[in-house]
């Protein structure tokens, strides 16, 4: 299908404003821009230049010229080479050479006056008029007695290191050459736990296929999990003990209430028995008038009202005793909770104070490493001090002591990386003729 060209609708040009609005000045602007480009490149328009500036007469020709490799210019050289031939317009007030020299001389005079001590025409600095008199002495005479006292050197200021952490850490009692059975077992168990943690970390990274990325952080997380499990087990045992204690207290209260209930149940039986006896006694004295209350009826009503009062009093006393027992139990529980909360707060405060005084475990990028425990098995223990062999390195322990006390930043060896080669294609393939 052939597209039908739509004719451009021309706006009205009736008035001056509509003429300016709807006139097309694109050709004029393009022509002016081309003229400005010619002025920037050649200094003037093409029609204003002479023929010698536009054309060159070739006399020799290029038959004997040799083809030479043209060196390609850098992009920055091409950009810097585009200099406009139009002079820069004068911006602002431009000082003449004479006025500039005059201002420079004035500034120089002010600087000299200031150096000489004159401010606002007044001299502020006094000159020393008197010359220093030199002493007269014979050069061949004995050497004059001078002050031969040696000034004491200033004492070097020492850094205030933390005294809470000793420079030399005493080893575990189980690391002795003749240790106690209990302490030696504790040390072996501790070393076994550390090795087990390392083994778990290695196994975990083996499963993930990333054995090279074994870090200290993983071992710390494993330790945190084990500690959390131990704390959880302790809390469960504590809850069980509290539940058993509460159950014993409730059973004791129930036994006491049962006794009181049996007493209260036996009391109405005694009252009924006494009432029946009184009724038998009063049955002899009966009235002939059925409308009039007899003495037995009045006595029975009096006993019933007295019984109701006694039952209400007993019920109220029982309720008060029950509430008192509950209040005592709640009071004990509240006191226990408050005491535990105070202990926890005090422990947290002490830990915060100790943490503020202790050095940090991480300075910079790396953490302070822990030295492995020097532990021997039972069959490896020496019989005497003469057969004892050193287990660790003194230099390593000293350096680790500096790290623990934050006197040195922990660092790791960083091997030099092998340089990588990058293949690129030169841009000279574009320079062809």
Is 9 within a domain? no
Which DSSP symbol is given to 432? -
Q: Can you give the residue range of the structural domain that contains 399?
A: 173-214+360-405
**Rounded CA gap, 372 and 192, in Å?**
11
Q: Are 219 and 369 in contact (CB under 8 A)?
A: no
Splitting the chain (433 residues) into consecutive groups of 10 residues, what average pLDDT does each group show? 56 74 85 90 84 81 60 80 71 67 84 76 54 58 62 65 72 88 90 88 72 49 68 82 74 51 49 55 52 84 91 91 88 89 90 77 84 85 84 88 87 85 78 60
Is 106 within a domain? no
Is 375 within a domain? yes
User: What is residue 211's predicted lDDT score, i.e. its pLDDT?
Assistant: 42
Cβ-based neighbours of 406, under 8 Å, separated by 6 or more: 162, 359, 360, 363
- Specify burial of residue 403 (Cβ count, 10 A radius: 0-12, 13-18, 19+): buried
**Rounded CA gap, 214 and 201, in Å?**
7
Q: Token pair of 31, please?
A: 């022509």
**Rounded CA gap, 213 and 218, in Å?**
10
Q: What is the chain's length? A: 433
Is 380 within a domain? yes
User: What is residue 309's predicted lDDT score, i.e. its pLDDT?
Assistant: 92
User: What is residue 372's predicted lDDT score, i.e. its pLDDT?
Assistant: 84
- Helix 216-282 and helix 295-357, axial crossing angle in degrees, nearest 10: 170
Q: Are 297 and 333 in contact (CB under 8 A)?
A: no
Is 378 within a domain? yes
User: What is the number of domains present in the chain?
Assistant: 1
User: What is residue 242's predicted lDDT score, i.e. its pLDDT?
Assistant: 82
Cβ-based neighbours of 125, under 8 Å, separated by 6 or more: 116, 117
Strands (DSSP E) found in 118-261: 118-119, 122-123
Strands (DSSP E) found in 317-388: 362-363, 366-367
Count of Cβ atoms closer than 10 Å to residue 410 Cβ: 19
User: What is residue 342's predicted lDDT score, i.e. its pLDDT?
Assistant: 92
Q: Would you give the distance in Å from CA 27 to the centre of its chain?
A: 66
What value, to the nearest 5°, has the Cα angle with vertex 157 and ends 154 and 158? Answer: 145
User: What is residue 142's predicted lDDT score, i.e. its pLDDT?
Assistant: 67
Tokens 């091997």, residue?
415
Is 366 within a domain? yes
**Rounded CA gap, 142 and 382, in Å?**
76
Tokens 């004995």, residue?
142
pLDDT digits (tens, 9 = 90+) for 51-92: 888 888 877 666 665 555 566 778 888 888 777 777 766 555
Which DSSP symbol is given to 430? G
Q: Is the dihedral of CA 261, 264, 266, 272 positive or negative?
A: negative
Is 381 within a domain? yes
Is 188 within a domain? yes
């Amino acid at each position: 299908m052939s597209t039908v060209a739509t004719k451009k609708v021309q706006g009205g040009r009736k008035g001056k404003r509509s003429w300016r609005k709807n006139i097309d000045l694109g050709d004029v602007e393009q022509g002016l821009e081309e003229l400005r480009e010619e002025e920037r490149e050649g200094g003037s328009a093409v029609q204003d230049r002479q023929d010698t500036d536009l054309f060159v007469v070739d006399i020799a020709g290029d038959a004997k010229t040799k083809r030479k490799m043209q060196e390609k210019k850098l992009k920055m050289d091409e950009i810097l080479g585009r200099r406009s031939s139009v002079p820069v317009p004068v911006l602002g007030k431009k000082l003449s050479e004479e006025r500039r020299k005059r201002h420079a001389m004035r500034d120089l005079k002010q600087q000299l006056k200031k150096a000489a001590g004159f401010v606002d025409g007044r001299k502020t600095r006094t000159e020393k008029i008197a010359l220093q008199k030199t002493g007269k002495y014979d050069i061949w005479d004995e050497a004059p007695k001078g002050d031969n006292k040696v000034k004491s050197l200033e004492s070097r200021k020492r850094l205030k290191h933390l005294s809470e952490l000793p420079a030399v850490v005493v080893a575990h009692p189980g690391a002795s050459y003749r240790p106690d059975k209990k302490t030696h077992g504790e040390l072996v168990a501790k070393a076994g736990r550390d090795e087990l943690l390392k083994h778990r970390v290695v196994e975990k990274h083996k499963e993930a296929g990333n054995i090279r990325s074994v870090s200290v952080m993983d071992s710390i997380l494993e330790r945190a999990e084990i500690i959390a499990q131990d704390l959880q087990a302790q809390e469960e045992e504590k809850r069980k003990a509290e539940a058993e204690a509460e159950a014993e207290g409730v059973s004791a209260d129930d036994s006491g209430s049962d006794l009181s209930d049996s007493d209260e149940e036996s009391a109405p039986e005694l009252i009924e028995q006494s009432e029946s006896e009184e009724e038998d006694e009063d049955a002899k004295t009966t009235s002939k008038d059925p409308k009039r209350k007899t003495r037995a009826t009045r006595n029975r009503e009096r006993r019933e009202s007295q019984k109701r009062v006694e039952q209400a009093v007993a019920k109220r006393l029982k309720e008060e005793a029950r509430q008192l027992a509950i209040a005592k139990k709640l009071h004990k529980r509240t006191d226990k909770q408050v005491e535990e909360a105070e202990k926890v707060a005090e422990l947290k405060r002490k830990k915060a104070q100790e943490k503020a005084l202790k050095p940090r475990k991480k300075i910079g990028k790396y953490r302070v490493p822990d030295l492995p425990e020097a532990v021997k098995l039972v069959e490896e223990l020496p019989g005497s001090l003469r057969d004892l062999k050193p287990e660790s390195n003194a230099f390593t322990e000293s350096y680790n002591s500096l790290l623990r006390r934050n006197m040195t930043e922990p660092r790791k060896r960083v091997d030099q990386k092998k340089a990588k080669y990058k293949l690129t294609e030169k841009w000279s393939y574009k320079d062809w003729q």
